[in-house]
Structure 1
Amino acid sequence: MTRPRPLGLRPDPDDSVGAIGEFALIDRVVARSGAAAVADVGPGDDAAVLRTPDGRVVACTDVLVEGRHFRRDWSSAEDVGHKAAAANLADVAAMGAVPTALLVGLACPADTPAGWLEGVAVGMAAECAPFGAAVVGGDTSASAPDSQAVVLSVTALGDLGGRAPVLRSGARPGDVVAVAGRLGWSACGLAVLRRGFSSPIAAVRAHRRPTPPYAAGPAAADAGATAMCDTSDGLLADAGHLAADSGVLIELDRAALQQAFVDPAGPLPQVAAALGGDPMAWVLTGGEDHALVATFPAGVDLPDGWTVVGAVHEPGDAGPGVQVDGVPASRVAEELGEGAGHVHFG
């Protein structure tokens, strides 16, 4: 199998991971990784030592596999670093916390360019910098002999700053449902790339480097959000997690979603028209924008950036779930020609 050539990088066998060795690679990556504000001991020892101002640590992990979560001929190394960090930092924000540090595990073929991995570190550092967070440690390994894929396992840590964590299980009948961030842009960009195009560039960039609304998570917690999660698998799927864990029915308002997330002058309608699709398919089922969906008590003043898109009801005879204008999520997805969100082993 011939591997696609990484964007913006000329192959140099003398600068591969196999040629320079593990420790030279680690030195180069660490030099690009920045410093975490909470680290008393950073990379270089057997483990990092971090201060925990709140006394509790929020922790989450995501695995990114080349060919499934990113392609090196579609995204630069910096893009991949941004995306790998964002996938985890958004989960920290979804708990109402502020990110503090990342731990990164890497498995790659020996011929992986060391310069490409430096680029990944640069992207991660840039995504973390606004919080004073950084990579504080990790591990490297050669891939299995028959594997040509790069695998990144990223663990994010965060601090609640005295807040109670916002769980998926707190939504109650009478709450409103709100979303912060963008919906459908990453899926739109993926559709463009899959067809061999690179424009509209705004959609392609959204797929390469998602822009989660990090500040919206702690703001929602401060405002009294009852439940919250990241929409990494799509709005229908992740609202479904809130509904199941809270034992409620979540009713989404299609008109509200259309108004808030389908800009007539934006890329979603443009690409959907070219492909003969419906932009609402991406809004409802597209993942990897890492928007946040949350529920709030009715009457609460929502923080800036949050838009009401539905309501929470008693589950009724059908049990907990998600509907769009009274139609079950599974049927909505089927009518749109999509699955109701990403399924890893589907």
Structure 2
Amino acid sequence: MKIWKFASLLLAMVLMLAACGSDETAKDKTNNAGEKQSQETGKTAEGQGPTYPMTISPTTASSSDRESGQTYNFEDVTFEKMPERMVVFDYGFLDTLDALGVEGVVGVPKDTALPAHLEKYAADEYASVGNLKEPLLEDIAELGPDVIFISGRQAPYYEQLKEITPNVVFVGTSQDDYWNTFLASVDVAAKMFGKEKEAEEYTAKIDKALEEIKALAGNYETSLATMYNEGKLSGFAKNSRFGYMYDIYGFKPVTEDIEASSHGSNFGFEAILEFNPQVLFVIDRTAAIGGKSNIEADMENEIIKKTDAYKNKHIVYLDGPLWYLSGGGLQSELAKIEEVLAELK
């Protein structure tokens, strides 16, 4: 009887040890499977980081060239993994990537003056891929990019760039819906590179600045956004390239009767005097494209000196590269608001 009890006890212990071993083996298999899945999706075991494959939509489905009348259509792009080598043509998107701390940019357009806050990309470690309107296709191909980010100026080269890599994503802003397409481009960067938290923190700063500028804008009854180009002026209405100064910032346009155009409607000095805005914004395109600007000498002529904007020192000269070239980025959009605040406070 004692022998039988001993044998039963021994058998129970063997079965218990076997069960423990099976349990540990199952845990190891589960952990290994989890690690493998994390690597395949691009998501860490702690749940951080973006999940791939990922499909990215363009910020707008199409872009039209007002001069040629040509319309370019853009497609969704599915990425199997996070891109590691990027060519970025849109300075606004480059600005956002930089603000979020995203690495992997290998090429940018350098034949056009880089905005001051993006000067680090002028270094030799970043290849030149042409200018904003003429990509160097062979040079881009040699870089072997995983993705090419473009905006409106490169739209005519969309199909040619897709021959280098199918991963060509349109991240530009739309004239008709500037602010929402800007936010959509931020969303693209945040999702692709797992920077949602950083993006939220930055957009919170912008929202706070917007509240301040809206309060400031309420102090003026009329305003006019213009662009200076080698002695000539263009005016912008609500539904135009810089219409967000009215729609988003809250300044009241001095007139609605301005033709919508990417470069504005021709606007003589006499017209400015006739409308007589309380605030006159002037974007220096000449400086933006590397020309010699005489903006203050040209603007402060005998006609303009009769306007309320001049008399009250409310002619606001805006940074050309910032406003004309690099808008649509987290840093640049905040800097624009801060520049206006600094000039009018």
- TM-based fold match above 0.5: no
If you compute each CA radius of gyration, which structure gives the higher value, 1 or 2? 2
Higher relative contact order (CA 8 A, sep 6+): 1
